[in-house]
C-alpha cells in the first residue's frame, strides 16, 4: 500500500530505490564486498554462529549438575531457546541472501536480517512468541561480538551503482538495484563513510536542515530528507521508496502511476542539471557588472575535484574536523594532516583554499569513544576554538600542518566560534608559536591570511573589534541563526522556528557585511544560506560579493547572480532588513 512520510527537505532531487534500513545499529561496519568475497563473508557469519552454539553447549554442561538455586530451570530453558534461534534457517538463509545478492559485509547482513526477523516477531499475536524478539537480539549480539574479536577484512572502497532508473529497475534482484538509506539517525562521521557511496538518497527520523548530517548529505549531492520522525519504523527492509528531496517527502511502495510521475520529475531535474552545467565557465558577474566570487565548501581533500568541476574560484570553507572523525581516539598527526591539506591545496590547482581549524563538538562528535553527551548543553559547551584552546598540543599540531601546506599554494586559515578578545589573542599567539616551532625545526611553511568566523551573536555585535585582528571574516549563518534564536539546529522538533529570515538574524548579517565593506576587508558567507537561491538576491543587495557553498549548489546560485542587478537590489535589501516580517518581502 502506498503511503507518504513527511520531513524536512535538505538536498534536492528525486531518488527511487530499495530501502536499506539501518534502524538503531549504526555501530557495526557497513560496506560492500567484492563478489569474490561472498563465500568467505558467509563463512565468517557461520563461524560466529558455530562459536556461539559451542559456547551455549558448554554453558549447558556447566549448569547440569548444579542445584536449582545456582541454575534455575528457566536458565536452561532460555539456553534451549537461544540454540533454537541460532539454528533457525530464516536467520542464516536471510544473512546469505544479503551477502550474496546485495554484497553487504557480514555484520551489515546479520543486522539487516535481525531487523527483518524482529518485525516478524512484532507482528505475532502470541505474547510469548513476541517476547522472543529480545532473545533473537541477544543471539545476534553474541554473534556480532564474536565476529568483532576475529580479524575483519579491510573494507574495499564503496561504489555507486551506475545507470539510469530504467536500467536499474530492469536489474531488480541483482546488486545493481539503486539503494536508499533509511535510518533513525546518522552522525556526520557515518555520513562521511557513505560519501561516494552506493546510496541514491537518504532519509533520517531526526535532524534539522542545517544539522551536520544534513550538510554532508547535501555535499553528496543526492536527494535527502531529515526529521521524518518515524520513517525508520514505517519502512521495511527492501521496500521500494521514492525520496523527494525538493518537497521533503518519502513515498513508500509507490503505485505505478506515482512512480511514472516521479520518473518524469527525475528526468526533468536531469535536464535542468544539464542546462546549468553550461554556466560552468561563465564568469559570475551581475547585470550591473559586479564580479561575484563563488567558492566551494568541502569536507575532505578529494572534494576539491567537485569544487573545480562546479567552476568554484577556490575553497571558501574546508571543514577540517572531518579528518579527525571516526578515529577512535587516534587523531591524525602533523604529517598526516599536512599531506591532507596539501592534497586539497594542490587539488585546487592554484586557487585559494580556506582551511577552518577543527570544529568538533555538539552535533559533530569525534567518535563514539569521545562522545560528549555528558555535558548538558553541548552546543554551548567545549566546541570548536574552545576545544582547540583547551588542548594546545593538538591545536599546535594542526596549525603547523596548515602553515606547512601553505608552502604549496594560497592558503587562508579560518577560526570557528570566536566570541572573546581573549580567545582571539590566545589563538593568534598560538599561530605565532607554531611558526616559531617550524622555524626552529627548519621546516618550510608559507604565508597565510587569518580570518574569523562570525557565528555567535556576540561576535557579530562586536564585528568592528574583530576587524582589528583579522584579514577577513566569514559568516557562519548556520550557527549564527542557532545562537541568535536559541534553536538547536539539529533538533527537528523546533525546526519550524529555525528562521534565516528572522529580522534579528538579518540585521546581524547586514551589519557584519557593512562593517567589513566600510573597512575594505573581505567578507564571505559560508553557511547554508549562501547556497540557497532564495537568499542570493538579498545577500547581493546587502553588499555581499563572496559566497561559499557546496559545489552542487554553485551553478544555481550563479544563475541567480547573472540575473541580478545589485544597484536595484540594494534599496530593496534595506527595506527587507528594516521589516518586522522580512520573509514576506522575500517570498
Ligand atoms: C556555520 O555555522 O554556518 C558554518 C559554516 O559552520 P558549521 O556548519 O560547520 O558549523
Ligand atoms: Mg558553524
- Residue 479 alpha carbon to ligand 1 centre in Å: 6
Query: Which triple of cell numbers denotes residue 481?
Result: 541563526
Task: Give the ligand with the smallest distance to the CA of 320.
Answer: 1
Residue pair 418/452 in contact (Cβ under 8 Å)? The answer is: yes
Task: Tell me how far apart the 2 most distant CA atoms of the chain are, in Å.
Answer: 92
Binding site membership of 354 for ligand 1 (Cβ less than 6 Å): no
pLDDT tens figures, 535-571:
999 999 999 999 999 999 999 999 999 999 999 999 9
pLDDT tens figures, 514-524:
999 999 999 99
Is residue 324 predicted with pLDDT exceeding 50? yes
Binding site membership of 476 for ligand 1 (Cβ less than 6 Å): yes
d(CA 321, CA 325): 7
Report pLDDT for 343: 98
Grade residue 378 by pLDDT with cuts at 50, 70 and 90.
Answer: confident
Grade residue 418 by pLDDT with cuts at 50, 70 and 90.
Answer: very high
Residue pair 329/309 in contact (Cβ under 8 Å)? The answer is: no
What's the residue count for the chain?
587
212 is catalytic: yes
Report pLDDT for 116: 82
Give the chain's mean pLDDT. Answer: 88
- Angle 125-130-136 from CA coordinates, rounded to 5°: 150
pLDDT tens figures, 278-308:
999 999 999 999 999 999 999 999 999 999 9
- Residue 49 alpha carbon to ligand 2 centre in Å: 46
Is residue 248 predicted with pLDDT exceeding 50? yes
For residue 210, which atom of ligand 1 is closest to its CA? 8
For residue 297, which atom of ligand 1 is closest to its CA? 5
Determine which one of 184, 501, 526, 550 is catalytic: 526
Grade residue 163 by pLDDT with cuts at 50, 70 and 90.
Answer: very low
Percentage of the residues of the chain whose pLDDT score is greater than 70: 90
Report pLDDT for 318: 98
Is residue 370 predicted with pLDDT exceeding 80? no
Task: Give the ligand with the smallest distance to the CA of 321.
Answer: 1
185-199, 244-258, 418-432, range with the lowest pLDDT: 185-199
426 is catalytic: no
- Residue 211 alpha carbon to ligand 2 centre in Å: 10
Q: Beta strands of 255-356 (E only): which ranges? A: 293-298, 315-319, 353-356
Is residue 173 predicted with pLDDT exceeding 70? no
- Tell which wins on pLDDT, 549 or 187: 549
- Residue 381 alpha carbon to ligand 1 centre in Å: 16
Binding site membership of 478 for ligand 1 (Cβ less than 6 Å): yes
From 359, 385, 508, the mutation candidate for ligand 1 (largest count of ligand atoms within 8 A of CB) is: 359
Residue pair 84/49 in contact (Cβ under 8 Å)? The answer is: no
Q: Beta strands of 503-575 (E only): which ranges? A: 523-525, 546-549
- Residue 453 alpha carbon to ligand 2 centre in Å: 8
For residue 416, which atom of ligand 1 is closest to its CA? 6
Is residue 160 predicted with pLDDT exceeding 70? no
Report the pLDDT averaged over residues 482-496: 92
Is residue 157 predicted with pLDDT exceeding 60? no
Whether this prediction's pTM lies above 0.75 is answered by yes
Strand order across the 3-6 sheet? 3-6, 249-252, 240-244, 14-22, 179-183, 199-204, 224-226, 8-11
Binding site membership of 455 for ligand 1 (Cβ less than 6 Å): yes
Report the pLDDT averaged over residues 504-516: 98
d(CA 387, CA 389): 6
For residue 321, which atom of ligand 1 is closest to its CA? 9
d(CA 86, CA 68): 26
Report pLDDT for 425: 98
First to last CA, the chain: 37
Report pLDDT for 537: 98
Grade residue 77 by pLDDT with cuts at 50, 70 and 90.
Answer: confident
Report the pLDDT averaged over residues 98-125: 85
Report pLDDT for 315: 98
Is residue 102 predicted with pLDDT exceeding 80? yes
Binding site membership of 319 for ligand 1 (Cβ less than 6 Å): yes
Residue with cell 547440569: 64
For residue 215, which atom of ligand 1 is closest to its CA? 8
Is residue 162 predicted with pLDDT exceeding 50? no
- Residue 368 alpha carbon to ligand 2 centre in Å: 21
For residue 474, which atom of ligand 1 is closest to its CA? 5
Residue having the nearest C-alpha atom to atom 9 of ligand 1: 319
Residue pair 285/554 in contact (Cβ under 8 Å)? The answer is: no
Determine which one of 30, 212, 502, 550 is catalytic: 212
In 319-468, which residue ranges form alpha helices assigned H by DSSP? 334-347, 384-390, 392-405, 421-441, 457-461, 463-467
Binding site membership of 527 for ligand 1 (Cβ less than 6 Å): yes
d(CA 146, CA 115): 19
Binding site membership of 359 for ligand 1 (Cβ less than 6 Å): yes
Binding site membership of 526 for ligand 1 (Cβ less than 6 Å): yes
Is residue 59 predicted with pLDDT exceeding 90? no
- Residue 487 alpha carbon to ligand 2 centre in Å: 14
Is residue 189 predicted with pLDDT exceeding 90? no
151: which DSSP letter?
Answer: P
Residue pair 499/549 in contact (Cβ under 8 Å)? The answer is: no
d(CA 95, CA 26): 17
Report the pLDDT averaged over residues 241-256: 95
Amino acid at each position: 500500500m502506498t503511503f507518504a512520510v513527511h520531513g524536512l527537505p535538505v538536498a534536492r532531487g528525486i531518488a527511487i530505490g530499495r530501502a536499506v534500513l539501518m534502524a538503531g545499529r549504526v555501530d557495526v561496519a557497513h560496506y560492500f564486498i567484492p563478489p569474490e568475497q561472498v563465500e568467505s563473508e558467509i563463512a565468517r557469519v557461520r563461524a560466529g554462529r558455530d562459536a556461539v552454539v559451542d559456547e551455549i553447549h558448554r554453558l549447558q554442561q556447566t549448569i547440569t549438575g548444579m542445584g536449582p538455586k545456582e541454575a534455575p530451570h528457566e536458565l536452561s530453558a532460555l539456553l534451549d531457546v537461544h540454540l533454537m534461534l541460532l539454528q533457525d534457517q530464516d536467520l542464516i538463509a536471510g544473512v546469505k541472501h544479503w551477502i550474496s545478492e546485495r554484497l553487504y559485509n557480514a555484520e551489515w547482513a546479520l543486522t539487516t536480517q535481525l531487523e527483518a526477523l524482529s518485525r516478524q516477531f512484532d507482528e505475532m499475536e502470541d505474547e510469548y512468541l513476541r517476547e522472543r524478539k529480545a532473545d533473537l537480539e541477544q543471539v545476534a549480539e553474541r554473534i556480532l561480538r564474536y565476529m568483532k574479536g576475529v580479524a575483519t577484512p579491510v573494507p574495499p572502497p564503496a561504489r555507486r551503482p551506475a545507470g539510469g532508473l530504467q536500467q536499474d529497475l530492469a536489474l531488480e534482484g541483482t546488486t545493481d538495484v539503486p539503494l536508499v538509506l533509511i535510518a533513525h539517525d546518522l552522525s556526520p562521521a557515518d555520513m562521511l563513510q557513505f560519501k561516494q557511496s552506493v546510496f541514491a538518497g537518504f532519509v533520517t527520523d531526526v535532524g534539522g536542515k542545517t544539522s551536520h548530517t544534513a550538510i554532508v548529505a547535501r555535499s553528496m549531492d543526492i536527494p535527502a530528507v531529515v526529521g521524518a520522525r518515524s520513517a525508520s519504523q514505517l519502512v521495511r527492509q527492501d521496500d521500494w521508496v521514492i525520496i523527494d528531496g525538493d518537497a521533503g517527502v518519502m513515498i513508500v511502495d509507490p503505485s505505478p502511476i506515482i512512480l511514472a510521475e516521479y520518473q518524469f520529475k527525475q528526468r526533468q531535474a536531469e535536464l535542468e542539471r544539464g542546462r546549468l552545467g553550461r554556466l560552468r565557465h561563465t564568469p559570475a558577474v551581475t547585470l550591473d557588472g559586479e564580479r561575484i566570487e563563488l567558492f566551494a565548501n568541502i569536507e575532505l581533500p578529494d572534494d576539491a575535484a567537485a569544487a573545480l568541476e562546479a567552476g568554484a574560484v577556490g575553497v571558501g570553507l574546508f571543514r577540517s574536523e572531518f579528518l579527525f572523525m571516526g578515529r577512535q581516539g587516534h587523531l591524525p598527526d602533523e604529517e598526516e594532516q599536512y599531506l591532507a591539506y596539501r592534497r586539497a591545496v594542490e587539488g585546487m590547482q592554484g586557487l585559494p583554499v580556506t582551511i577552518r581549524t577543527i570544529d568538533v563538538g555538539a552535533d559533530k562528535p569525534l567518535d563514539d569513544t569521545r562522545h560528549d553527551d555528558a555535558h548538558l548543553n553541548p552546543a554551548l559547551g567545549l566546541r570548536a576554538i574552545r576545544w582547540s584552546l583547551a588542548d594546545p598540543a593538538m591545536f599546535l599540531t594542526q596549525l603547523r600542518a596548515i602553515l606547512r601546506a601553505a608552502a604549496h599554494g594560497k592558503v587562508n586559515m579560518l577560526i570557528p566560534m570566536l566570541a572573546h578578545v581573549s580567545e582571539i589573542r590566545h589563538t593568534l599567539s598560538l599561530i605565532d608559536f607554531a611558526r616559531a616551532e617550524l622555524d626552529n625545526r627548519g621546516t618550510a611553511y608559507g604565508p597565510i591570511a587569518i580570518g574569523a568566523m562570525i557565528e555567535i551573536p556576540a561576535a557579530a555585535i562586536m564585528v568592528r573589534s574583530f576587524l582589528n585582528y583579522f584579514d577577513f571574516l566569514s559568516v557562519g549563518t548556520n550557527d549564527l541563526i542557532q545562537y541568535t534564536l536559541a534553536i538547536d539546529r539539529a533538533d527537528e522538533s523546533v525546526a519550524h522556528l529555525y528562521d534565516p529570515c528572522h529580522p534579528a538574524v538579518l540585521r546581524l548579517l547586514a551589519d557584519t557585511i557593512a562593517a567589513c565593506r566600510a573597512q575594505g576587508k573581505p567578507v564571505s558567507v559560508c553557511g547554508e544560506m549562501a547556497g540557497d537561491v532564495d537568499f542570493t538576491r538579498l545577500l547581493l543587495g546587502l553588499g555581499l560579493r563572496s559566497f561559499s557553498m557546496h559545489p552542487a549548489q554553485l551553478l544555481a546560485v550563479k544563475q541567480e547572480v547573472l540575473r541580478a542587478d545589485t544597484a536595484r537590489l540594494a534599496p530593496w535589501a534595506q527595506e527587507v532588513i528594516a521589516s518586522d516580517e522580512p520573509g514576506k518581502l522575500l517570498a
